[in-house]
Amino acid sequence: MATGILSDLNEAQCEAVTTAADVVQVLAPPGSGKTKTLTARVAYLLAERRLKPWNIIVCTFTVKAANEMKERITKFVGHECAKQLKLGTFHSVALRYLKQYGQHIGLGKDFGIADSSDSKAIVKRIIKKNDYSIDAGGARGRISTQKAKGIDNEQFSRKAKNVEQQEFARIYQEYEETLKASNLLDYDDLLLRCCLLLRTEPACVSNVEALLIDEYQDTNNIQYDLMGLFAQHRNVITIVGDPDQSIYGFRSAEIKNLTRMKQQWPDTLTINLEENYRSSGAILHAAQHIIEQDESRPPKKLQATHTYGQRPVLRKLPSAAAEADWLVAELKRIQALSGDLLQPNDFAVLLRSAALSRAIETALGREGVPYRMIGGLRFFDRAEVKLLVDYLRVVDAPGNNEAVERIINVPPRRVGEGTVKGLHEEARLKGVSLWSLVLDVVQGRCKPTTKVTPATQTGLAKFVDVILSAQKKLASVAAENHLKRKFPDEYEARWTNVEELLAQTIEASDPQRLIAMVDDGALPSIEGLERRTESVSENALSLFLANVTLATAGAEKTEQDGEKAQQLTISTIHGAKGLEWPVVFIPACYDGSIPHSRADDNDEERRLLYVGMTRAQALLYLSTPLRNSQREEASMSTFLAQPGVASFFEEHGPSIAAADVRALAKTLRRDCPSDDAIAESKKTLERDEDNYWPLTGEEPFEERAKWDHSKSGNAAWSFRDTRPVAVFS
Ligand code: ATP
Ligand code: MG
């Protein structure tokens, strides 16, 4: 047996890892070791059953989760073996099959991917052009829902009854035509086309010996189909999941897929795991209480293996700014009390929506606490990076009308919006791409019906020039000059981002390296850009761009250096699925945020809170401002305002004595700092007391932290509120 695959697994986990059953379902609560079991099974199949890594498909939902799984597997079987697994998000695995075998369904290798902003822009334009009354965001979501259900535009069109549905059917149809004309696939298409491919050409997956899926509760119908198709030759499937953590209903995830699987494969072996290895008893107790508010849910056993520990904190603060200040002060306090056992890496701030991060980011920035964001505003969303990516897209595949439209007048080339729209429409009618029409106009092969002034003609010529020459040497020059003009002060910082991206692009010139990057779902930053001057091969660039788009969808920036650097994590709760941290803060727990005002399934919102709470290992903080970011009154989330909930929480952060630090070190399997070191780091708190909690000055509220030596000789912590805020009113 490869070292230690089974050594720290319990009996039920061992059974799931080693069973000879073909189809296995592990349904179990958070922290019970499902992912650990799944990765151990992969290692077991490789080491004991001697399956070849390239014949094993492992799917999960986020890029970050995929990376963590890969890391865990690598520990057992080594990097060389692990990197050959087909492991990634559903979308990235589908992408690989499409790039490799897409020709069987008439797909060239050069297709691009429309990211969510591309898709939305296309829908918006269609709506505007036809003067429809439908909301663009809503229509885009609806297209995605139809696709997720496997209903294409023709099917929808046939069934459309009323005027509203017929209008939507036309948008859907035109959207599909636009994608086709630009040689683009959207995210849903990746999965749909992969299904089509595997149906048309089953031989593509004839070598697949095992399929394993994490977070199965969040699969939708297409992913279910894809699962069957990946495994069509052997039906060897292991899935792990937890119905209580189903949080993607809003994206058509089907919890029914659990029972559907058992109907399709009646011999499915079901294994339950009942021990929680992640969280303290107190955290589990509180989380359990929240999820049990859903009375339709069957009761489940869940046993804590850790001690009861500190009760989670539930706190009200006067404003979002005060909440952020409190959070950062508490973080520093806990770090100091733990004798620096807890470092920024151990803390996560989980948010219902990315838009809530601003106050937290400001407070962290002011206090100099380094942080990384996952599932929020990402590297590839930054304006300067997006611009360069668009240039690269056009260089790579000029048929991408959406990208052409975005950059044709950036930097300004006197090509007005009206002209671009006119040319675009003209191109559409002619059945050619915007780029090829522009090229014809510039090179005198065609006289457009759209009015093109001499100044515009010059501008278009400049654009064509840039792209043609950039096709030889990438698109850095135009972007750099534009950035210099547009952001004179921040130019350097922004250009660093561009360089980082460029470095990655150049790294992508090595196809082997690129495939590894695609597999990793990560695009590492590379130092020493100057030293690397090789040009990028065409195919590598197109794969790279596909992966950029997926990395954006996968919702995160994976920072290569960040792995080592100490940084707090800010994430959406959705993006934190499957992950864990010693200390978790969930701010902005107010009605309208969680449950979200636009969510239509309250039970799903509750499960979301449950997912967030169960990410915490040792300490958990929930809080709400009494005014939201728009300064409107906010009240505590209904999930937390239920009778009885308060008894599971404390108002104040815990006073952590030396004995607590020792217990914490044991739980986290780390060396405990000496008592002297703990005492020393506590002193920094006393010294900083006066400046400890900078207030924004905007609130009449003043809350100062103060040492309270009165308690049992231990320096315990308490807060003196000059205007106390009721916590459980
Ligand atoms: P989630 O539902 O949140 O994804 P999960 O069921 O996948 O949770 P894991 O992430 O696999 O849970 O495990 C949670 C933690 O418990 C991890 O730190 C893991 O290493 C630890 N763990 C799991 N099983 C055991 C075990 N048998 N002994 C010791 N630690 C374990
Ligand atoms: Mg997991």
Residue having the nearest C-alpha atom to atom 9 of ligand 1: 33
Q: What is the Cα–Cα distance from 705 to 685, expressed in whole angstroms? A: 10
CA torsion 488-490-495-500 (nearest 10°) is 180
Question: How sure is the predictor about 114, in pLDDT bands with cuts at 50, 70 and 90?
Answer: confident
Contact 40, 9 (CB under 8 A): yes
Question: How sure is the predictor about 181, in pLDDT bands with cuts at 50, 70 and 90?
Answer: confident
In this prediction, residues 453-458 reach a mean pLDDT of: 92
With the most atoms of ligand 1 within 8 angstroms of its CB, the residue from 14, 35, 42 to mutate is 35
Mean residue pLDDT of the chain comes to: 80
Strand partners, 236: none
Which residue is listed with tokens 């079991």? 37
Spacing, Cα 9 to ligand 1 middle (Å): 10
The distance from CA 654 to its chain's CA centroid, rounded to whole angstroms, is 31
Among residues 264, 200, 275, the alpha carbon closest in space to that of 237 is found at 264
**pLDDT number for residue 273:** 93
Give the count of alpha carbons within 13 A of 645, CB side only.
21
Largest CA distance in the chain: 89
Which residue is listed with tokens 């050069």? 110
Residue having the nearest C-alpha atom to atom 21 of ligand 1: 277
**pLDDT number for residue 398:** 87
Residue having the nearest C-alpha atom to atom 26 of ligand 1: 9
Spacing, Cα 403 to ligand 1 middle (Å): 43
0.90 surpassed by complex ipTM: yes
With the most atoms of ligand 1 within 8 angstroms of its CB, the residue from 67, 76, 278, 283 to mutate is 278
The distance from CA 288 to its chain's CA centroid, rounded to whole angstroms, is 25
- Axis-axis angle for helices 34-47, 11-18 (nearest 10): 40
Lowest mean pLDDT among 289-298, 612-621, 688-697: 688-697
Residue having the nearest C-alpha atom to atom 20 of ligand 1: 36
pLDDT tens, residue by residue, 585-628: 999 999 999 999 888 889 999 999 999 999 999 999 999 998 87
pLDDT tens, residue by residue, 369-402: 888 877 544 444 555 566 777 877 888 788 888 8
**pLDDT number for residue 698:** 34
Q: What is the Cα–Cα distance from 665 to 19, expressed in whole angstroms? A: 35
- Per-residue pLDDT for 209 more than 70? yes
Q: pLDDT: is 626 or 112 the higher one? A: 626
Lowest mean pLDDT among 10-19, 151-160, 249-258, 464-473: 464-473
Among residues 47, 30, 36, the alpha carbon closest in space to that of 14 is found at 36
Taking the CA of 66 as reference, the closest ligand is 2
The atom of ligand 1 lying closest to the CA of 36 is 11
